[in-house]
Amino acid sequence: MWEKVESAELDEMWSFVQNKGNQRWLWLAIDHNTHEVLAYTFGKRKDKVFRELQSLLKPFGITMFYTDDWGSYERNLDADKHTISKKNTQAIERKNLTLRTRIKRLCRKTICFSKSVKMHDIVIGLVINILEFGWCLKTANQLART
């Protein structure tokens, strides 16, 4: 059962695979009150990928979305449930900066990059899961007890 989330902050973050011409975007959603990651997805900076993130957020019953002014949000979110605001997206911008600092593949100028889309998504997804959900540590502790 999903916990109801009153409001969420949404943002997208740029990275690349192989070279800077092959852009890859991390779409991220966090709880506005707790700053916990709710969902994320990878893809291009297109409405189709945003709708994938939106479908992952449906079970939370979110009543308000805070975003920047990227057009995809305006086209796909109801105006009465959407606020464009820098003030209300500070937490997700801070989360993006933390992820860029911890995951070198997300840095704009780096010698560490992915050679395949699959590895790009796997590595970044694993780091987010470990940092945000700690599932790897829980699993290791459970295995150690048995």
For the stretch 40-84, pLDDT in tens is 999 999 999 999 999 999 999 999 999 999 999 999 999 999 999
* Confidence band for 113, pLDDT divided at 50, 70 and 90: low
- The CATH code that applies to domain 7-145 is 3.30.420.10
What is d(CA 145, CA 51) in angstroms, rounded to the nearest whole number? 41
Q: Beta-strand (E) ranges in the chain? A: 7-17, 19-31, 37-43, 64-67, 82-84
DSSP state of 82: E
**What mean pLDDT value characterizes the chain?**
84
Residue type, 107: C
Instruction: Specify whether the backbone of 3 is left (phi greater than 0), alpha (psi in -120 to 50) or beta.
Output: beta
Domain extent listing, the chain? 7-145
Check pLDDT > 70 for residue 107: no
pLDDT for 102:
76
Contact present, 124 and 100 (Cβ < 8 Å)? no
